[in-house]
Chains A and B, each alone.
Chain A
């Protein structure tokens, strides 16, 4: 079954700790994305990558970092510099251009204690 796998589903973190969210896809898609959702708000783009070893900042990149060393994988690190990290995080992939639909993972919910 082709799809996108995010892990973990739920994560608790203490303030001041970095945490990495995993996103793996086996759809052979070139592009991958990280979005964040907060209550009452739309999905906001954190980072996206159109190709291996390249990525761009989205609208709310501060306090986050990513890597794209393999086509299948696009991990997101939430650093201690992110002021409000508690949120629901969605990973997505597509064939690359904006006229192609996004395929989403099931999300990771991060709670900072």
Chain B
């Protein structure tokens, strides 16, 4: 079983603060790295899928970077808003064989943004 670690486990910030989380994954045979946002009582929704070392993706105030050589990805939220409160999940896939299409999730980072 692949090991995908997210830190911190939880985070409380004030509205307007910028914040970031980390996802660590095995650096060998990298294939893809996903970020999802999971709001309470809703389904997880994809934020980004990254496949190339050095990838940077942005969606509004949220951005992500990827370093496949050292096995980590950062998710940044600029100017956090209460509606950003959610659990943020990363998921990793390595290449080929029987793992084709298989994603392993980290345990998530719970973000709470206080007004």
Is B101 within 8 A of A45, CB to CB?
Answer: no
Q: Does A100 contact B (CB under 8 A)?
A: yes
Chain B residues near A45 (CB-CB < 8 A): 102-104
Interface size class of A (residues with CB under 8 A): 20 to 34
| A96 to B105 CA separation, bound complex (whole angstroms) | 17
Q: How many whole Å from A102's CB to the nearest CB in chain B?
A: 7
A-side contacts of B108, CB under 8 Å = 42
**Residues 16-75 of A at the B interface (beta carbon under 8 Å):** 31, 33, 35, 40-45, 48, 50, 56, 58-59
Asked if B101 contacts A40 (CB within 8 A), the reply is: no
For residue B102, which residues in chain A have a CB less than 8 angstroms away from its CB?
A: 45, 48, 56, 58, 98
Residue numbers in A under 8 Å from B105 (CB-CB)? 35, 42-44
Distance, CA A56 to CA B105, complexed state (A): 17
Q: Taking CB as reference atom, which chain A residue is nearest B50?
A: A99
A90 lies within 8 A of chain B by Cβ: yes
**With contacts defined as CB atoms under 8 Å apart, how many contacts are there between chain A and chain B in the complex?**
66
Interchain CB contact (< 8 A) of B46 among A33, A50, A102: A102
Where the two chains meet, the residues of B that have a C-beta atom closer than 8 Å to any C-beta of A are 1, 4, 6, 31-32, 34, 36, 42-46, 49, 51, 89, 91, 93, 98, 100-108
Sample of 24 A–B contacts (CB below 8 Å) = A33-B103, A35-B105, A42-B4, A42-B6, A42-B89, A43-B89, A43-B91, A45-B102, A48-B102, A50-B100, A56-B98, A56-B102, A58-B102, A90-B43, A96-B101, A98-B32, A98-B100, A99-B31, A99-B32, A99-B51, A100-B49, A104-B44, A104-B45, A106-B43
A residues at B contact (CB < 8 Å)? 4, 31, 33, 35, 40-45, 48, 50, 56, 58-59, 90, 94, 96-107
